[in-house]
Structure 1
Amino acid sequence: MNYIEKAIATSVISAAIGGLIGACSAQEPKILINQKMGEHFYNRGLERLEKRDYQGAIADFNEVIRRQSSNYLAYTNRCVARFKIGEIQTAIADCDRAVQLNPKDGDARYKRGNLRIYIGNKQGAIEDLQTAALIYQQEGNMPRYQDAMEKYQKYSKDITQDGNI
């Protein structure tokens, strides 16, 4: 390869590498912006949930999920907002999705357990409450553990007394 051919080859390789670096750099800010905006909507959703603006909270959690489809916390919190406006089945579906995304999310299991109590599914409720209690115990969250265990024991006792087990 002569000098001119080497110079051309070097230029072509440099351009290709530069293009790859540019493409990676162009993607990185988009990802960071998406994460930051997801955090913004998530935090605003929590504020709206606290202020009882359930429709606004749902809209914000929808946006988080649109940007970060694996954000199980957004599903868990959207579940609460949906329950508050009477959308029980979609609230349960949100808890189901949160549990799929993170099986060790005690809050999603606890909330789903309470929703199952609400609709009369005591067997499903006690399974969720027992699992939530175990997760809380492993995390060292004793107040949540005790609360989940109390509900678990109450509904386990109810089922046993009803003769369903």
Structure 2
Amino acid sequence: MKSFFSILFVTLFSISSVSAQNSGKLTKTGKDLIEQNDFSAALVKLNEAIELDKENAMAYYLRGVIKNRLGDEIGALKDLDMSVKYNPVLHQAYFERGNVNYELLRFESAIKDYSKTLEINDDMIDAYYNRGQAKLRISAYNEAIGDCDKIIEKNPKSVDAYFLRGIIKIEYGMLEAGCKDLSKAGELGDLKAYDEINAKCKSVRY
């Protein structure tokens, strides 16, 4: 009897292992199709991957990315929730969920997701940038400036960080400092910074 159950266990384990492997292959194919902007074919492969492995966090994440790109934010959130459920350290899923929440104007939720992203991977500069934007939307100016500071600390030539920090400082009433940041952004190649300078900084000497 023990031998029978041992054989049954090994058989079931083998089937499960093969299903997971096949699910992984389908997920990779789906990812490749996303990179080719073939979302329809990618969805087919990712659906098949999830059918084979209901706990395939990467497949849920990628399907959530597609749904978000196609404008189905609610569907995207459901998939991204499943992704982090099955892989709580998949920082890309938290980041994408933050983007969806931002688009839905759920800025507090977006900030939490970006913060979780950075808790797992603090080198993800886009998460600092997007979190800074979300903080700006709720008038958390000092914290938003802090996120820009962090980006510049990691990448002193980050055009976007100087531009965003300049805008935030001006909104916060730090006109001279904000104009200096916009000037730096322009110096680094962001020509739209000069539009902001011409609109807001003519009275400032810096």
Q: TM-score, normalised by structure 1?
A: 0.76
Q: How many Å apart are 1:48 and its aligned residue?
A: 1.1
DSSP 3-state at the match of 2:21:
helix
Quote the residue 1:48 is aligned against. Answer: 33
Q: Answer with 1 or 2: which has the greater Rg.
A: 1
Q: Which has the higher contact order (CA 8 A, sep 6+)?
A: 1
Quote the residue 1:157 is aligned against. Answer: 136
Asked if 1:136 is matched to 2:121, the reply is yes
- The answer for unaligned runs of 5 or more in structure 1 is 1-15
- For 2:35, give the aligned amino acid: E
DSSP 3-state at the match of 2:115:
helix
- The answer for unaligned runs of 5 or more in structure 2 is 142-206
Q: Which moved more, 1:118-127 or 1:21-30?
A: 21-30
The percentage of aligned residue pairs carrying the same residue is 21
CA–CA distance in structure 1, aligned partners of residues 100 and 32 of structure 2: 22
Q: 1:35 to 1:160 in 2, by over 3 A?
A: same
- Residue deviations 1:43-93, cap 9 Å, x none? 111111111111221221122212211111111111111122222210111
Of 77, 92, 96 in structure 1, the residue corresponding to residue 81 of structure 2 is 96
DSSP 3-state at the match of 1:98:
helix
DSSP 3-state at the match of 2:121:
helix
Quote the residue 2:20 is aligned against. Answer: 35
Asked if 1:78 is matched to 2:78, the reply is no
- Residue deviations 1:121-145, cap 9 Å, x none? 11111111122122112xxxx2x1x
Give aligned pairs, total.
141
CA contact (8 A) 2:61 2:93 kept: yes
CA–CA distance in structure 2, aligned partners of residues 25 and 155 of structure 1: 50
The structure where helix makes up a greater share of residues is 1
Q: How many Å apart are 1:112 and its aligned residue?
A: 0.6
CA–CA distance in structure 2, aligned partners of residues 130 and 18 of structure 1: 51
- For 2:127, give the aligned amino acid: A
CA–CA distance in structure 1, aligned partners of residues 90 and 67 of structure 2: 19
Q: Cα RMSD (Å) of the superposition?
A: 2.0
CA contact (8 A) 1:54 1:84 kept: no
